[in-house]
Amino acid sequence: MNDNSVGWFEVGTDRPEDARSFYGELFGWTFANGPKYSEVTTPGVPHPTGGIADTGGEFPAYAIFYVVVRDVAATLARAESLGGKIVTPPATSPDGLVSARLEDSTGSLFGVFSPPGA
């Protein structure tokens, strides 16, 4: 993955089976289904690059992209200086991935992450 490029996307819905059917038919995406999250593999890519999250109706439907960064905290500080807002503070997964969600200066939601060991 290259720094500052889109490294992951996520679609959140309370109808994940419908979303899988829709995107599978439209774009030829394939899925590795889990109980609450399906990893998405797009044509021509040998590994998952996104996911479909089952919100269980707890959140409105959404689609979001995540940008790979070297330093999540530094990126959040820079985003705030440019008029962005932190929506979800940095969190570290058990494998060491660090991620956060932000709003850009226009109110659009996006995320950033640093892979484990970055």
pLDDT, one tens digit per residue, over 13-48 is: 999 999 999 999 999 999 998 889 999 999 999 999
Computed over every residue of the chain, the mean pLDDT equals 94
Residues 6+ apart with CB under 8 A from 80: 86
CB-based contact 66:12 (threshold 8 Å): no
Residue 1 has pLDDT above 90, yes or no: no
Q: What is the pLDDT of residue 63?
A: 95
* φ and ψ at residue 76, rounded to 5 degrees: -65, -45
How many angstroms separate the CA atoms of 81 and 118, rounded?
23
Alpha helices by DSSP H, the chain: 16-27, 72-81
